[in-house]
C-alpha cells in the first residue's frame, strides 16, 4: 500500500471527525486552547487506535462486528445530536451545556466517528499490511483536519450564534444516518 493510498484513506476516515469538530466549535464549544487540543487529539487518537484494534481482532471477527457497527455509530451520534438540538432550542440561559470536548460525550463522539477505522484495520489485516504506518497517518491527519475544522466552526458560531448549535445537532444526526444507510443499502 502506497503513502498516497494511505493519505486518501486517512482523509476519508477523518471527514466524520472533522464535521463533528466543526459542529462543536460552531455551537460555541472548544473555545479555549485546551478544549481545541482535547477534541482534535482524541479524534486523532481514536482514529489511530481503532485500525490497530481492528487489525488485531483479525478476520474471524469481521462478520460479527459488521452486523451492528453502523447501528452503534448511528445511535451515539443521534444521541449527542438530539441533545445539541434541545439545548440550542432552549431559550433559558440557565441550562448547563455538555462540552463535547470533555468526559463521556467526547468518548462517545470519538468512538462513533472512528468505527469505520476499525473496519479499515480489519481490511488491512486481510491484505497483510503492516498496521503501524497507516494508523499513525490516519491519526495525525484526523487530528489536523479536526483542529482546522474547529477553527472554521468557531468563526461560523460567532456569525450565527445559537442557531449553529441546532445546525450542529442536525449535522451529527445526518452523519449517523449516512453511516447507517450506507451500511444498510450496501
Write out the three cell numbers for 163.
Answer: 442557531
User: Can you give the pLDDT at residue 43?
Assistant: 95
| Long-range pairs of 88-96 with CB within 8 A, sequence gap ≥ 24 | 88/27, 88/162, 88/163, 88/164, 88/165, 88/166, 88/168, 88/169, 89/166
Q: Rounded mean pLDDT of the chain?
A: 80
Maximum CA pair distance of the chain? Answer: 55
The number of folded domains in the chain is 1
Cell 482514529 belongs to residue: 47
Q: What's the mean pLDDT in 112-134? A: 82
Give the per-residue pLDDT at 65.
61
pLDDT tens sequence across 143-155: 999 999 998 888 8
Dihedral pair phi/psi, residue 104, rounded to 5°: -65, -30
The CA–CA distances, whole Å, from 47 to 85, 88, 93, 136, 140 equal 26, 29, 35, 9, 9
- How far is Cα 164 from Cα 54, in angstroms, rounded to an integer? 35
Stated pTM of the model: 0.73
Cα 146 to Cα 37, 181, 185: the distances in Å are: 10, 24, 28
- C-alpha grid cell for residue 36? 481545541
**Nearest-angstrom CA–CA distance, 131 and 128:** 9
C-alpha cell, 157: 458560531
Q: Are 84 and 172 in contact (CB under 8 A)?
A: yes
Distance CA 162, CA 118 (A): 34
Q: Per-residue pLDDT tens for 11-67? A: 888 888 888 888 888 877 877 888 889 999 999 999 999 999 988 886 566 556 667
- For 100, the domain range is 3-185
Amino acid at each position: 500500500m502506497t503513502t498516497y493510498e494511505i493519505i486518501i484513506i486517512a482523509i476519508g476516515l477523518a471527514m466524520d471527525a472533522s464535521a463533528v469538530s466543526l459542529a462543536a466549535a460552531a455551537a460555541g464549544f472548544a473555545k479555549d486552547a485546551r478544549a481545541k487540543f482535547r477534541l482534535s487529539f482524541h479524534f486523532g487518537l481514536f482514529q489511530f487506535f481503532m485500525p490497530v484494534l481492528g487489525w488485531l481482532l483479525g478476520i474471524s471477527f469481521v462478520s460479527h462486528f459488521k452486523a451492528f457497527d453502523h447501528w452503534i455509530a448511528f445511535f451515539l451520534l443521534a444521541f449527542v445530536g438530539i441533545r445539541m438540538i434541545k439545548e440550542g432550542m432552549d431559550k433559558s440561559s440557565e441550562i448547563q451545556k455538555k462540552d463535547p470536548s470533555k468526559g463521556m460525550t467526547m468518548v462517545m463522539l470519538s468512538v462513533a466517528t472512528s468505527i469505520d477505522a476499525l473496519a479499515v484495520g480489519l481490511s488491512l489485516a486481510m491484505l497483510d499490511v503492516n498496521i503501524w504506518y497507516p494508523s499513525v497517518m490516519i491519526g495525525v491527519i484526523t487530528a489536523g483536519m479536526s483542529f482546522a475544522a474547529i477553527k472554521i466552526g468557531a468563526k461560523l458560531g460567532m456569525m450565527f450564534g445559537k442557531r449553529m448549535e441546532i445546525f450542529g445537532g442536525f449535522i451529527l444526526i445526518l452523519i449517523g444516518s449516512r453511516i447507517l444507510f450506507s451500511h444498510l443499502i450496501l
